[in-house]
Amino acid sequence: MAGVSYYAAAAAGTGRPSVVQFGAAPNRSRWVSRTRLRRRNAGGRFGLDSNSELQVDVKPSSGSMVEIELVATNTGSNLALHWGALQPGRSEWVVPPAGIRLPEGTIRTPDDAALRTPFKNSGSNSTLKIEIDNQGLESIEFVIVDEAQNKWFKNNGQNFQVHMRPPAGHHHQGQQHSATAGSIGRKNRDVMQLLSKNASTNDQVNKAAEATPSKCTVLDLFIKSLQEKHGSQVLCKKVFKLGEKEILALMSQVQGSTKVHLATDHVEPLILHWALAQKPGEWKAPPPGIVPAGSTLLEIACESPFSDAELNGLHYQVLEIELDDDSYKGMPFVLRSNQTWIKNSTSDFYLDFSRRTAKSSEGTSDDSKGTAKALLERIADLEEDAQRSLMHRFNIAADLVDQAKDAGQLGLAGLLVWMKFMATRQLIWNKNYNVKPREISQAQDRFTDNLQSLYKMYPQHREMLRMIMYTVGRGGQGDVGQRIRDEILVIQRNNNCMGGMMEEWHQKLHNNTSPDDVVICQALMDYMNSDLDIKVYWDTLNKNGITKERLLSYDHPIHSEPNLKSEQKEGLLHDLTNYMRSLKAVHSGADLESAIGTCTGYTSESQGFMVGVEVNPVKGLPSGFPELLKFVLDHIEDKSVESLVEGLLEARAALRPLLLSSTERLKDLIFLDIALDSTVRTAIERSFENLNNASSEKIMYFISLVVENLALSTDDNENLLCCLKGWNHALEMSKHSDDQWALYAKAFLDRTRLALATKGEEYHDILQPSAEYLGSLLGIEQWTVNIFTEEIIRSGSAASLSLLLNRLDPVLRNVANLGSWQIISPVDVAGYVVVVDQLLTVQHKSYDKPTILVVEGVKGEEEIPDGVVAVLTPDMPDVLSHVSVRARNSKVLFATCFDPKILSELEQNEGKVLSLKPASVDISYREIPESELLVSSSIDTVDGQKAPSLSLAKKQFLGKYAISAEEFSDEMVGAKSRNIAYLNGKVPSWVSVPTSVALPFGTFETVLSDKINKEVSQKVKILTEKLDQGELGALSEIRNVLLNLTAPTYLVSELKEKMQSSGMPWPGDEGEQRWEQAWTAIKKVLASKWNERAYLSTRKVKLDHSNLSMAVLVQQIVSADYAFVIHTTNPSSGERSEIYAEVVKGLGETLVGAYPGRAMSFVCSKNNLESPKVLGYPSKPIGLFIQKSIIFRSDSNGEDLEGYAGAGLYDSVPMDKEEQVVLDYTTDPLVTDCSFRTSTLSSIARAGYDIEQLYGGSPQDIEGVVKDGKIYIVQTRPQIGGEELEVDELLDLQQLRRHILDHLRVYLVVVGVVVEVRRDGCVVGDTTHAAAAPLDCSPNIPILSSPAAARLGSHPAAALGGEAGCESSSRDAVH
């Protein structure tokens, strides 16, 4: 909280306060500061009641002046402060002496014992400021009085007390943690000190995995050789450990022959002692006809020698056995090296023929795509060994760490999935093998030590490594594992419980302890605390996944229930409580108490045969850190969790520098951080009920706490930290009753939701493929696999945060008057409800009935499918995104629904026919019969007429490879270029237009036909033929081939001359490499003719794709502070007197491209351009920035056809790559500075209005940027659906005459009529023709846009020619 002078304003005194009837207040003599040390705070947040809070800020004013500001939220209008002051060394309060400036309205109480000061009302809040300039006062002490309701509000039964000055010797910069019984003083640190930017993107992860294949062992090469050279199909395989070496046993089939292969990297010569089995446990000598050469048959076995072999210079031994029938179930064997027998630990080796490999190793399917395939298959091979005991599993995992590391993040994802399957009991923990607890903890130590090493070496993988460690547990230190075995005996003897359930549990613990023992111990403690209620015992077990069947499944089963006596209860409870520490120390990665003890140190004395344990504290812990951890433990059970969570987060923040360094015993600190993180989550979940009636400020504060916790657990957390800063700023705005606070908070709520969704997608992309592939290899139940990633997310803070956001969202929408919907394209419709996941997956589908799509995800660049009349989504594309423009142009209802209940209701109507009617912020709907739909619907027809077909006129090359703006014409370039040329010199002086040149129509085709590009041309021809036959994969191939085009020298020289003569820099002046960058960008623009979306879009409206011509507009990039898009008619409401615009920070690609989040949006009345109204604050997390560069913009003849929204289908490519920057809106003056915002938005609106006037009032779709306060317009075109010039308003003929009087002769094309309008205003015409007449006009003559002409019944004027600026379609202005 800004403004707190000596301590950060963390929440203080969060318990529910006492409410005392007026008159029952204690007298002055009792108001002594008995709890001063634990109640003193320099500001903070206090609870008043379930829906109200008191926020106190203390900050220095001038000189020795201190200002104390109090804000009470959601309170009545009659609050007063009943207060006094404390002097140093005095326990009773005093009335401040005369001379101190007291707030207005302050009076002394009748007994002269206190002051009474009224709060001032500000909306639902009450505020009060006190300024005190007296060095002799240390703090103020007070209670709050609601005089209307006769209530006193206190702080957990005590007076509120606020410290005004630092204690003696205190220095702010060196502030240490101050842990008290009631609150925690949080260190005043910059949020960005918690920044971590180590994570790689998914693309980088996948590239790294491809670029760094795991190292192949000789056994891997052997399997590969079998498959590739011999065509063998692997039926089953198993890898066994031979100390540091391994032996592979597999059964294969090739051409009807079944063989067993054994291969090993063991160095010493080996003899295989083997047999065949037709039932488990059997040893049966093989038939003589199948034994390998050199074998010796014995009574029930055979001995066969291995042969030496070599692959890629690696030595190995191999043996092959061909089986004679398929009745065998398996092959038992042991090995002999000289006179030494080698077994599988204490058992025989066994290759189970029935355990077939789930997925063939050759990987002909895509099931393993996106995984570290070799690692997962190796895990599956070793799983049978891992099932012997947790010791075996953790040792195998430790051995696999290097292979996982080599596979990058996908390798670590594979380890995590395996360990998570183990932790959730999907895999067997123990099977026929006794192991000591000490051996389990040692194996855990070995595994987690390896993970610790990776944590130090690879910062980008720390998040994944934390998650693995969370599933594994800490392991023992100081022989803690052995104490599990020893202590249970002591507990039994001390409490006389040597038989029954306790003895059965002892036998299990003695041989195979597991994480289940933590639950069993807790169940026993709950049983005793419930006065020996056996139902409680079973409830605890069952809630934690342990059933009676599981207890019986242990190698040493637990058959009995506890049957203890009341006299045993006290001692047994005491001993089990201590015993739980040992269990959690080994098995729990997230137990807070054991994690704290391990880091701060503890000693457990030996007793008889029981070993002693001494754990030393970790060196280098921050000053005051142990006291901070003690505070956390003292408050772990608090009902009000605010102070606890603050303490946990302060501990995590203090711990963070140690986690980023190669600290000694780093692993223990990681487990402590994991435990702190887990405790935050459980505390927040515990608080949900108390937040049911909480104020919006309280919920926002809790959101800020959870966002901070999530950021501390995330590798790449910059976006989350910017969200945190936004929530803190929203809290300040709310506290000061800023009327924009709810709208501002809603933007950060949307951004935070987007961050959670992005994180969820990242987890799904990295983890889910491994879960599915490994799950199939190990036979994991499908339902477990399906929800794997979901459960990972639920186990972290993200799930709690999502619930808090859902709780706050309707509150913000209500306060900001946002309603439940944002209507992007308002149209009354009716249709069949269809629910889909992503619009992208159905964008090229054609529905044969009027269809209402309820869509989970909309990115912004999709097409609206044929037959769709409405798209309803919880996603939030920009109002000016491609799909939004498409919807308005196609008269499709398009809306965002903010209320999940409404959306769920709509989804439940799938298959039904609904009628939808949008209002300003709402949509009403009702079910209607199909007959009513059939009467009201007529797809693709208007008044019984089919929509006019579209056609493209192929453009010819006119002999110039490059032209200047003065040469732009409709035969040379598209509307984008011509409009820019037209604006130049006509816009107001405070608006600029970038200098432009162009590569005209036909340049691309001419370059392609040049002899230097003959090979490229031939490939394009072949691929085009494939495309014509419906092979859409040819599109990407064509684009790739076109990148091999060579620029003819005459193109290079002409473009250079035009750019330099226009005052633009020539890239080649900076070196040949810079020209190559520019030429590559040009080729990408030309190749975008074959974008999938563009190609399919033109095909859908039956345009001849071969007639599409591409010009390239070349402009110098303005290094923008902000970019904007203006629609001079409000597209959502159709209001013609209102300008609508959206603004983003940085370049405009984040606005017009499919970048997530919302732009800042505003409207502005054309009658009052100085007063823009913000509709929404920005939530886009990313901005694009670029320094001095050149951009090459697509300008095709297909982007602006009548009735076809082609804009945005083709690419504009900058010569240099943009820098992606995570945006911090709390430092952006457009968001935080009201006067700057008003000035900037007004300038944008005025530019839009002035440009609209240049086009005779025809609504415009304008793109531009702001740089250092100056407006730059980069393009304009007619606004789709912006029918500003209504026919019934203008075409009263007298108005039409006045409209064009004093201009040149013009021909209007009307259905069946060619009308000539002369200079004198007379209208004459020949009504027998419908041909388009030539248009003879100067570029600035305003002519009716075609939407207006359409309402006269006109055909599209396909041949409107003329000077620069005169357009051939309604997508650009007609001059």
d(CA 87, CA 148): 32
The strand pairing partners of 663, in sequence order, are none
Looking at this protein, which amino acid is placed at residue 111? D
Residue in this structure with the two tokens 């000190």, named with its chain if needed: 193
Q: Encoding tokens for residue 808?
A: 């706050």
Q: Is 600 helix (H, G, I), strand (E, B) or coil?
A: helix
Which DSSP category does 459 fall into?
G
* Helix pair angle (1092-1100, 1034-1042), 10° resolution: 120
> How distant, in Å, are the alpha carbons of 511, 1113, 1335, 1366, 1372 from that of 1339?
93, 20, 11, 6, 13
Contact (Cβ atoms closer than 8 angstroms) between residue 1196 and residue 1230: no
> How distant, in Å, are the alpha carbons of 204, 847, 942, 1146 from that of 1009?
38, 41, 44, 39
Residue in this structure with the two tokens 């050759």, named with its chain if needed: 362
Contact (Cβ atoms closer than 8 angstroms) between residue 419 and residue 425: no
Q: CA 221 from chain center: how many Å?
A: 40
The strand pairing partners of 259, in sequence order, are 252, 322
Angle at 798 between CA 1223 and CA 647, to 5 degrees: 90
d(CA 833, CA 821): 18
Which DSSP category does 1039 fall into?
H
Looking at this protein, which amino acid is placed at residue 537? Y
Neighbours of 471 (CB within 10 A): 21
DSSP assignment string, 438-454:
HHHHHHHHHHHHHHHHH
d(CA 927, CA 911): 11
Give 1228-1237 contacts, CB < 8 A, sequence gap 24+.
Answer: 1228/1145, 1230/1122, 1230/1143, 1230/1145, 1230/1160, 1231/744, 1231/1160, 1231/1177, 1231/1178, 1232/729, 1237/1174
Q: CA 72 from chain center: how many Å?
A: 35
Q: CA 207 from chain center: how many Å?
A: 21
DSSP assignment string, 264-312:
E--SS--EEEE-BBSSTT--BPPPGGGSPTT-EE-SS-EEEE-EEEEET
d(CA 1375, CA 1373): 6
172 is catalytic: no
d(CA 940, CA 846): 12
What is the dihedral angle through the alpha carbons of 151, 155, 156, 161, rounded to the nearest 10 degrees? Answer: -140
Instruction: Tell me the backbone φ, ψ of residue 374, rounded to 5 degrees.
Output: -60, -40
d(CA 43, CA 190): 18
Percent helix, percent strand, percent coil in the chain, to nearest 5: 40, 20, 40
Is the Cα torsion angle 1198, 1204, 1209, 1213 positive or negative in sign? Answer: positive
* Maximum Cα interatomic distance, the chain, rounded to a whole number of Å: 122
Q: Encoding tokens for residue 199?
A: 């994570």
Q: Is 901 helix (H, G, I), strand (E, B) or coil?
A: helix
Q: Encoding tokens for residue 935?
A: 């009467």
Which DSSP category does 1354 fall into?
P
The active-site residue, picked from 82, 461, 635, 882, is 882
Residues designated catalytic: 882
